[in-house]
Structure 1
Amino acid sequence: MSFAQSWDFTPGARVVLDDLRKCSREYEWLEEPYVSPDGETVAMVAALPDAEFSLAVNGEVWEQTFDKIWYPRFSPDGRLTALVQSAGEWTMAVDGEPWEDQYGYIWGTLFSKAGDVIAAPIQVDGKYGLVSNGVAWETLYDNANQVVLSADGSATAAVVQVKPLAQADIETFQQGIFSVAVNGVAWDSIFVNCWNPAFDPAGKHVATTIRRTLYDYSIAVDGKAWTGAYACAWAPVFHPATGQVAAPVRKAGAWGMAVDDVMAWEPRFTQIWHQAYSPDGAILAAIVAPKFGEFTVAIGGQPWDITFPVVTDLVVSPQGGRVAALSSENNANFAVICDGKVWNGRYDMAWPPVFSPDGKHLAVTVRQGGKYTVLCDGKAYAQSFDRCFDPAFSPDGTHVLIRGIADGKVYRIVAPVTAFTG
């Protein structure tokens, strides 16, 4: 059973915290509130007297204090994490308990799908790598970036620098100094650049975009490069069932989609990126530009017949039959696109769409005129908020969990999809 299936989806509204300023200890200030995925917990960094910091959780401050604390995040299983510093060293604290080891720096917390594994990139004595559930890579590197954690948490990966590079040493750089390390072990293959490593669903294989020369882009899987050479390439993704790798590539002046180094979508677009498979792999969708400056979504290589200046945040429904995204105009006039149709309403801002588990409903958090609310299937919830977090559906898809802040109070609302009428 997933953590979300254990949430309380009893219809109704209640106040989780009646005053955001509430704190069990004297404080200098409280920072930005974070609300747990289930809406039951509110966490804020609390600056305490004597230059100490901790986290206030539903108004109750952790017993332990730190010199600095930042980046509070809730794991999918509901645990509260934060990056904390004591005596000049950093580590991860989970529900108030810091990991045993400390690091020169730690950032960018990562979670496995179930939340049982917590990872982050670290720096120790000028070397870089990753730590997972408190255990760091045995080998650290001069440079480690673009870090990823497999969905099951069994593996971590990053682009790493495997050769030293002196200042302005262009020749060595062009010979190749980067590779990908998996669980701290670098591939034997070395490239000029690597970007966007990605795990397959089982966490057993890694694909990455590579540059073999300044002008030769391709994809490498488990260190083995595709034979094909392209003018450019974007991030790869794995087919969830077959293990094939799909990546947008530029060839002969246009963009297409290559699957295992074979053109699956012919190069006829001015741009393709952010591709995503449906969970069963039957659908491959991507954001595309049929013409310069005109973006839309393509499914199986066929674009929708509407275009926009910008398209972002593409999502495929859990059942695979529906696709949604956001459109905008120069970071304004956001709209929701679903199945090739645009919802009514334009907004100052919108956040990534969320499908119900059965794919029948779609919810989106939006902001207009400084007020936030949640849309479901194009209709707005009646109440607006000073701030609103991502919505979530009940397992049967009939109710929406809304987490919002209004007038200094934190609300947890479970509304049936029929309650959205605006």
Structure 2
Amino acid sequence: MKGRLFCIFAWFLAVSSFAQEKVMLGKGEEIITIGLLNDTTPVYVVRQLREGLISTIKEYYVVTGDEKAGPYDDVEDLTFFSDGKILTYRAKIRGKWYVIAGKDKAGPYDEVWNFTLSPDKNVLAYIAVIGDQWYVIAGDEKAGPYDDVWGLTFSPDGKVLAYEARIGSQIYLIAEKEKADVYVDIKDFTFSRDGKVLAYGAKIEGQIYVMAENKKVGPYSDVGYLTFSPDGKVLAYAAEIGSKWYVIAENEKAGPYDGVWDLTFSPDAKVLAYRAKIGGQWYVIAGNEKAGPYDNVWCLTFSPDGNVLAYTAEIGGQWYVMAGKKKTGPYGSVGGLTFSPDGKVLTYGAKLDGKIYVINGNEKAGPYERLWFLTFSPDGIALAYRAEINGEWYSKVLINGKEYIGSVSNGVVVYVDNDTIRILNGK
């Protein structure tokens, strides 16, 4: 998670650029999520509570300008694609799920998962379940049926949609409608940053190999965490050889370890960091440096300039945030480490006294039951996230220490301040 520092002058300059729109809500109505269509038109989800014969009934509506769609039993994943021009969401109607995209409605489905936008935001893909069959929907195309699907991922250039699919007892890696060789198991896959190389681990005749650019490396007992460096020159991964784990990066091999997780390159590709288990204790490895031992380690995160490596560490049953030589805590649990775009502030979610809060530099927002998707506006002025309160998920933004219902849509900040919707270009 991220926090930001900004001067008073910048704040008042930002405020003066707001667009404003009044919103009128009826009895029992509340805005729980808001976004922007075409970077200018507010779209929001209204939850309405009304008393039925023997219970309180929840209904959801999606409001765009003067148009109001619904009622729905539930609304999730408010998404804008085709360069922010088309509104999409999934809506539950009488126990079935539908995907609403502009004026079109796809479904009914028993389940809809994994909304995934291509990097250029022109294609929306998702997984749909009908009965006991699974399908992948991408734009107007539908692939399947499969017995299971997971790992829906676009290449960074948006040209290839890849995923793993099970048909009977066999697992396929599907990439651009093509099925790679059939395997009993796929152990991970990843694209190079330019999208030209797809690397993956596959079980072949009882052994695991790493496949990339028509090359096969191995055999290993197991592999995981395949990761390309930001410049695309190095493919790194964790490999089990015998009963020990090693980190393989081109011609270099580090180890042995009892376990290896979460390989992460610095933005300049100069440092490879990961968490490793040695003799029952956990360590953070960053290039030739080692920090620890800890009872556990999670959430390795580099600052944008690569000068700070932050992570969470468990020490004596309590959790701390480690950033360089700075240690913050203790907390009951902590996660979601995110740096501000300028790298000056580290933000995260932390459990205090059984409740979850957003810690954003010197700011604290909450409490919440759960927290998800912390992200900043490009200029760092607004921190956006999803928070669960009394069983309902809200989209929130934190601006200058104050929280609002809001979001960052295509780099533009939109939020509700009392009865007014405010729009701030955060690009």
TM-score, normalised with respect to structure 2: 0.70
Alignment correspondent of 2:367 = 386
Q: Which runs of 5+ in 2 are unaligned?
A: 1-8, 16-22, 403-427
Alignment partner of 1:205 out of 194, 197, 210 = 197
Contact 2:347 2:358 in 1 (8 A): no
Is 1:313 paired with 2:319?
no
The alpha carbon displacement at 1:150 in A equals 2.9
> For 1:326 and 1:371, how far apart are their aligned partners in 2?
16
**CA displacement at 1:181 relative to structure 2:** 0.3
The code of the aligned residue for 1:120 comes to Y
Check 1:198–1:407 CA distance in 2 against 1; reply closer, same or farther (3 A cut).
closer
Q: Distance in 2 between matches of 1:402 and 1:104?
A: 30
Contact 1:217 1:230 in 2 (8 A): yes
Confirm whether residue 278 of structure 1 aligns to residue 249 of structure 2: no
Among residues 161, 182, 191, which one is paired with 1:156 in the alignment?
161
TM superposition shift of 1:186: 0.9
2:425 is matched with none
**1:275 positional shift:** 0.6
Pick 1 or 2: higher relative contact order, CA cutoff 8 A, min separation 6: 2
Choose the corresponding residue for 2:222, options 232, 244, 265: 232
Give the Cα–Cα distance (whole angstroms) in 1 for the partners of residues 46 and 220 of structure 2: 47
Q: Is 2:348 the partner of 1:364? A: yes
C-alpha distance in 2 between matches for 1:81 and 1:299:
41
* Counterpart Cα distance in 2 of 1:89 and 1:405: 25
For 1:326 and 1:191, locate their aligned partners in 2 and report how far apart those are by CA, in whole Å: 36
Supply the distance in 2 between the matched residues of 1:129 and 1:71 (Cα, whole angstroms).
19
Offset at residue 202 of structure 1 (A): 2.7
- Contact in 1 for aligned 2:91/2:100 (Cα 8 Å): yes
Residue identity opposite 2:11 in structure 1: P
Task: Give the letter for the 1:156 counterpart.
Answer: L
Describe the shift of the 1:404–1:293 C-alpha distance in structure 2 as closer, same or farther (beyond 3 A).
Answer: same
CA drift of 1:407 comes to 11
Q: Is the contact between residue 127 and residue 140 of structure 1 (CA under 8 Å) also seen in structure 2?
A: yes
| Residues 144 and 179 of structure 1: CA distance in aligned 2, closer, same or farther (over 3 Å) | same
Q: Could you tell me how far 1:111 is from its partner in structure 2?
A: 3.2
The amino acid of 2:77's aligned partner reads P
1:162-173 to 2 correspondences below 5 Å: 162=167, 164-165=168-169
Q: Which amino acid aligns with 1:183?
A: E
SS in 1 for 2:146: coil
Q: Which amino acid aligns with 1:195?
A: K
Instruction: State the secondary structure of the residue aligned to 1:11.
Output: helix
Match of 2:208 in 1: 217
Query: Are 1:345 and 2:335 an aligned pair?
Result: no
Q: Equivalents in 2 of 1:389, 1:160: separation in Å?
A: 27
Given the superposition, is the C-alpha separation of residues 42 and 328 from structure 1 closer, same or farther in structure 2, using an over 3 Å criterion?
Answer: farther
**What secondary structure sits across from 1:318 in the alignment?**
coil
* 1:105–1:225 Cα change, 3 Å: farther
Q: Flag the 1:130–1:138 CA change in 2: closer, same or farther, 3 A.
A: closer
Describe the SS at the equivalent of 1:191. Answer: coil
Q: If the length of structure 1 is used for normalisation, what is the TM-score?
A: 0.71
Say whether residues 1:143 and 2:132 are aligned partners.
Answer: no
Letter in 1 for 2:367: D
Measure, in 1, the Cα distance between the counterparts of 2:358 and 2:262.
27
Aligned length: 370
Q: Is the 8 A contact 2:119 2:154 kept in 1?
A: no
Residue type of the alignment partner of 2:117: F
Specify which structure has the higher proportion of strand. Answer: 2
Cα RMSD for the two superposed structures: 4.3
Gaps of 5+ in 1: 1-8, 15-21, 166-176, 417-422
The one-letter code matched in structure 2 to 1:386 is P
